[in-house]
Amino acid sequence: MKIVVLTTGATRRRYFVEKIQAKFQIAQVFIETRDPPPPYPTAHPLDDARKVHERDHWYDGNPPAFDSIAKVKSFDDLNDPAAIAELRDLKPDILLVFGTGRLSKAVLDQCPGGSANFHNGDPEAYRGLDCHLWPLFHSDFKALRMTMHRLEPELDTGGIIDRRSVSLQRAMPLSHLRQAATELAIDIAIDALNYFKNNGCFASTTQVRKGRYYSYMPAQLKDICIQKFERYTSTL
């Protein structure tokens, strides 16, 4: 089976690809380089803390170049005709999406049966961006999940292939949550790929409700999330 990954160059995406590559051959990784700025301030010390933690936890502070892990090609926008043409030529059996911008129907049409996205949350409650933070703002700790779902033109509405709760530890800082979620995404991906290898498809269940769409979390709300998360994990 031919696997193509659509992602970004972030450290956690490299780690994800590295661990999948150790189990299955990845034919190509397409990296989206655009990073449009949010329309309001979102930068917060939490963002830097989790980046530093991920680099240190997985790579002792020195993550490898992406092209040392897998075959990569970079595009500003994965919806560009050049990216779609490259994808069409590859004829993937499986298209794994982790962290890109919204993809067009023209992209999804290149792998209609095997396209799946990794969503850092529960899409039946929280769709869109920062879905590991919005549940904290709402004190909805049970929604701290990682979901693998089929791709549809509408964001985060496709059938659920797998959905699991992120494992939390006592006194765990919020800067460690995304690392735990990424490692869970790897476990989910490996199980789903093994299923596809044995059955020629992904099994999924239709979502029964459509979660509310959220955008970037404003910087001033992240302090609230830190306080609520640390208060919650102190009781585990």
| Alpha helix ranges (H) inside the chain | 11-21, 45-59, 81-90, 105-108, 134-137, 177-199, 219-233
Angle between helices 11-21 and 177-199 (to 10 degrees): 30
3-state secondary structure of 106: helix
Residues 11, 9: Cα–Cα separation, whole Å: 7
Cβ count within 10 A of residue 214? 18
Q: Parallel, antiparallel, or unpaired for β 72-75 and 94-98?
A: unpaired
> Which residues share a beta bridge with 32?
75
Torsion angle in degrees (nearest 10) through CA of 74, 79, 83, 87: 120
Q: How far does Cα 94 stand from its chain's mean position?
A: 16
The token pair that represents 234 in the structure block: 């102190």
pLDDT of residue 68: 97
pLDDT at 33: 97
pLDDT (tens digit, 0 to 9) for every residue of the chain, 236 residues total? Answer: 999 999 999 999 999 999 999 999 999 999 999 999 999 999 999 999 999 999 999 999 999 999 999 999 999 999 999 999 999 999 999 999 999 999 999 999 999 999 999 999 999 999 999 999 999 999 999 999 999 999 999 999 999 999 999 999 999 999 999 999 999 999 999 999 999 999 999 999 999 999 999 999 999 999 999 999 999 999 99
Q: Which two tokens stand for residue 231?
A: 């208060």
What's the confidence (pLDDT) of residue 41? 97
Please give the pLDDT value at position 31.
Answer: 98
What's the confidence (pLDDT) of residue 97? 98
